[in-house]
Structure 1
Amino acid sequence: MDLRQLEYFVAVAEEQNFTRAAERVHISQSGVSAQIRRLEGELGAELFDRSGRAVTLTVAGRAALEHARAALAAAEAVGDAVGQVTDLIRGRLTVGMVIGCTLTPLFDALAAFHRVHQGVEISLLEDNSDRLIEGVRADAVDLALVGTAGAVPDGLDSLTLISERLVAAVPPGHPLARQRRVTLGDLVPHPMVCMPPGTGLRTVFDRACAAQSLRPAIALQASAADAMADLAARGLGVAVLSESMAASYRDRLTARVIDDIETPAVLALVWKSTHNPAVRELIVHSRHAFTRPDPGQGLPPAS
């Protein structure tokens, strides 16, 4: 067993509900359920009675709860004690996040960092990717989640999270939905729904259009994928999304990969090489949060 399983166990016990527990620990319900099942398998006993409307502890669960809480408190105390003794990490960190793209693992990393280094003040800044990258280069932003066109910015350290093709998303009755292949030339006659300039998706799209001297009609712009999907579903334009974005709306939109856009939209964490111990520690927590296996939890779409 590991501390994460104990954390999920305590959350379910206190919330008496898997959905509320999943919201509390910021992962999917299926992820919580899988980890609880794994813990029960390791212990050789069921911890919860799932037969009623509320999830209740079994006799074995009640016996385990106090010890699980004690183990989590002890783990947190270890980090606090080390921090108090070393007293190395203090100050302020500014973390950037591209508008319209909420990644739970980033919040997990911030929470884990804060638990260990409570002397560091954390601020979260939402902006478009271009400005966030400029902020990292200028030392105004310490770590940023950004969308880029094909490659991460030169001169910055990075961790690529997603790299995907662009798709055109339309309602099932739209003429493009009947085509097997879609090109930029096919899109030009139709009004478009795009993300604003400065986002990774828009940069990929604009560069591809410019390379072919095409001038699509950008009818509407939105920073959030949900808004773009709603606009496209109502017939107000062809939405330009990433593959994982479009997959979330397959119940109402048909997606076609834009064949002649080969440059992927990349979602990445970027930072500047630094000797600041707080930044280095946050990067460690971020790498762990984004790369650890977690059943049922995938990464959200790129922006």
Structure 2
Amino acid sequence: MQLHQLEYLVAVADEGGFTRAAERLRIAQPGVSAQVRKLERELGHPLLDRSGPRVRPTPVGVAVVAAARAALDAVAGVQRVVDELDGLLRGEARVGMVTSGVFLDVPGVLADFSAAHPQVTCSLLEAGSGRLLDLVRAGRLDVVLVGAAGDLPDDLATRTVTEETLVLAVPPGDPLASSSSVAPGGLAGRDVVAPVEGNALREAFDLACAGVPVRVTCSASDPAVLARLAARGLGAAVLPASLSALHTEDLVTVPFDAPHVRARLVLAWPRGATSPAADALVRALVAATPPATPPRP
């Protein structure tokens, strides 16, 4: 029994005749007739009633046609799996990111992914968190690395990459340098150098200082740049606690007393079905995410 024989049988049953079935299959009519007769001989039963103007399945043929349809559907399912894998090899993977520092090497992951799947078109966009979230929700990006200070977006699947508190870095002679900690109110009227808007640290700082008259004199995406600006006296630098040892000779770091505010980097992607390439890229990024650790005090 051959798969094409089942296909021919189903076509004849559907079309009600060998000529129309041959036209549908785009093969010669004698070939269809010969293969169906060969199947009948192998099964030991006539499967088609050829006595009337329209060819119809016999009682045994009805059951065999139903089984043949199921077999053909199963084969089509196998083909769909192969097509999905082909889609991964020839698909598109689009990622967006804010500056992530050492926490997740998104460009490195994307480069390795592209090398493993050379026919996938990969793209990377760096932008602020708000814009990136809008783009992933609109289907224009497949996965994004964004900053979050408040609640995580509940309409997207998420994976926290890192979570920590903030510190302030000031020159040794600054009045804040001798403090054990600084509350948001202690920055009223002070000059501050802060991360750019859309950065997780900036969102956390703005959330903590809501209603406090803080002057942001400079902003930058690189914490090292913020530290250098603070060392030159342009304002207290807002830094992640993990970088509190930056420029220890030039700066003193003081804990920022806002214990309920955390700066997070989060991977976010659409829930539900996406393309095979997008799914594979998400898995690669999640696999590269460091193991979860408690927030830094």
State the match for 1:241 in structure 2: 239
| Conserved 8 A contact 2:92-2:121 | yes
Larger Cα-atom Rg: 2
State the match for 1:59 in structure 2: none
Aligned-residue Cα RMSD (Å) equals: 2.6
Q: Work out the CA distance in 1 between the residues paired with 2:92 and 2:278.
A: 9
Pairing 1:207–2:207 present:
yes
Match of 1:231 among 204, 223, 229: 229
Secondary structure at 1:271 match in 2: strand
Q: Work out the CA distance in 2 between the residues paired with 1:100 and 1:234.
A: 25
State the match for 1:268 in structure 2: 266
Q: Work out the CA distance in 2 between the residues paired with 1:292 and 1:120.
A: 28
| Conserved 8 A contact 1:147-1:265 | yes
Q: Work out the CA distance in 2 between the residues paired with 1:258 and 1:158.
A: 27
| Offset at residue 103 of structure 1 (A) | 5.0
Q: 1:208 to 1:85 in 2, by over 3 A?
A: closer
State the match for 1:283 in structure 2: 282
> TM-score, normalising length from structure 2?
0.64
| Offset at residue 253 of structure 1 (A) | 2.2
| Offset at residue 104 of structure 1 (A) | 5.3
Partner deviation per Cα, 1:178-219 (whole Å, 9 max, x = no partner): 111211121123201012222222222222222xx2121111
Pairing 1:187–2:197 present:
no
Q: 1:147 to 1:226 in 2, by over 3 A?
A: same
Q: 1:99 to 1:288 in 2, by over 3 A?
A: closer
Partner deviation per Cα, 1:93-134 (whole Å, 9 max, x = no partner): 221111474655323321332222111111110101111111
Amino acid at match of 1:276: S
- Unaligned 5+ residue runs, structure 1? 1-82
Q: Work out the CA distance in 2 between the residues paired with 1:249 and 1:154.
A: 38
State the match for 2:139 in structure 1: 139
| Offset at residue 136 of structure 1 (A) | 1.0
| Conserved 8 A contact 1:112-1:285 | no
Partner deviation per Cα, 1:2-56 (whole Å, 9 max, x = no partner): xxxxxxxxxxxxxxxxxxxxxxxxxxxxxxxxxxxxxxxxxxxxxxxxxxxxxxx
| Offset at residue 86 of structure 1 (A) | 4.4
Q: 1:281 to 1:100 in 2, by over 3 A?
A: closer
Alignment of structure 1 residues 1-303 onto 2, 5 Å: 86-89=85-88, 90-99=90-99, 101=101, 105-210=105-210, 213-273=211-271, 274-291=273-290
| Offset at residue 220 of structure 1 (A) | 1.2
More displaced stretch, 176-185 vs 198-207: 198-207
Q: 1:292 to 1:113 in 2, by over 3 A?
A: farther
Q: Displaced runs of 4+ in structure 1, greater than 6 A?
A: none
Partner deviation per Cα, 1:62-117 (whole Å, 9 max, x = no partner): xxxxxxxxxxxxxxxxxxxxx99942312222211114746553233213322221
| Conserved 8 A contact 1:167-1:257 | yes
Q: 1:160 to 1:141 in 2, by over 3 A?
A: same
Secondary structure at 1:177 match in 2: helix
Partner deviation per Cα, 1:259-301 (whole Å, 9 max, x = no partner): 13521000111111233111110111112222479xxxx9xx9
- Unaligned 5+ residue runs, structure 2? 1-81
> TM-score, normalising length from structure 1?
0.63
| Conserved 8 A contact 1:208-1:261 | no
